[in-house]
Amino acid sequence: MNATHGSLGAVYDRGYRPYEGVRGGRRAATFALYKATLRRALGLRRSWRQKVAPFVLLGIATIPAIVNVGIGYVTRNEIFSDRIEIITYREYVGVSSMLLLFVALVAPDVICPDRRQRVLPLMFARPLTGVDYVGAKFGAITTILFFFSFLPQVVLFVGSMLVSDSSFEYLTDHLDVIWKVTLAVAALSIYYAVIGLAIAATTDRRIVAGAAVIGLFLVTSITSAILVGDEEHYNDGSPAALINVLALPLQIRDLIFLGHIDPESSLSAVSNGGLYATGVYVAVLLLAAAVLLRRYRWVER
């Protein structure tokens, strides 16, 4: 260490120390980007304003579970033929579709600034490919969506179990809920994440991307409603219901929980409606993934 001494003190030149520790490759770089994206999306290491939206949404998503468990607790000594249940596990997956707002807010925030502020050349000068980049961003947003959808279900499940007459009996009676909720929430999270990121990848502007995400779901659901027709014909159902991309993961949810399309769904009277819903769901996923990967193809060119 060199030191330059002056009348007021000394300036130390600590020089440069080479790094001699372990060094990861592509996988480590991808995981690092995944962690950085998680932090950014949740507002960690950012101002409090950035933390408000994700955690308020998580709070709102958990309210029905808390209310349900609270009612169960208050009425635990009442004698009912059946317990009061304001929301079922299947319906709760539908509540998670409000996380679309989170996607509209966060997907552009984790994608657009990298392009707008031209950070991508710095990232791709690292041991990282375009596929790794897409994978890390997708993984992070899916993880958050999954846990934001899954945690309220855990609150509902554990709370209901604790206020039930027999916790063990509740657990054994509802074991199937565990895998059904996991699968349905995963289907919803993957779907929203990949669509949100694909739309965000097509523009540098966050506000445009956010509006486009909301717009896509609004326009397709309104178009679908118009095409399906008025209430009189509603019971007949229509394949036009498949246009509603917002409802597609909920059709998948119904297939997981009920084994068939919900009888109240506008797709219920369509023969092989479940199969069509699954096909369109997969097709939308693949299309969005293709758009996303194509946007970062230049890295390998």
Residues that bind another protein (CB under 8 A): 14-19, 21-26, 28-29, 32-33, 35-36, 45-46, 113-114, 117-119, 121-129, 299, 301
Q: By C-beta, is 143 or 164 nearer to another protein?
A: 143
Can you list the positions of beta strands (E) in 7-86?
A: 9-13
Strands 9-13 and 2-6: antiparallel
CB of 210 to another protein, least distance (A): 17
Closest CA to 124 of 29, 201, 27: 29
Asked if 35 contacts 28 with a C-beta cutoff of 8 angstroms, the reply is no
What minimum distance in Å lies between the beta carbon of 69 and another protein?
A: 37
Complex with another protein: residue 9 or 18, whichever CB lies closer:
18
Extract the tokens encoding 129.
């490919």
Q: Among residues 26 and 51, whose Cβ is nearest to another protein?
A: 26
**Contact indicator for 3, 106 with CB cutoff of 8 Å:** no
Residue that the structure tokens 């579970």 belong to: 65
Smallest gap, in angstroms, from Cβ of residue 291 to another protein?
Answer: 21
3-class DSSP state of 59: helix
> Which of 118, 137, 98 lies closest to 246, judged by CA?
98
Which residue, 20 or 230, has its beta carbon nearer to another protein?
20
CB of 293: closest distance to another protein in angstroms?
Answer: 17
For residues 261 and 251, the answer to whether their CB atoms sit within 8 Å is: yes
Q: Which is nearer to another protein, 137 or 253 (CB)?
A: 137
The minimum distance between CB 13 and another protein, in angstroms, equals 9
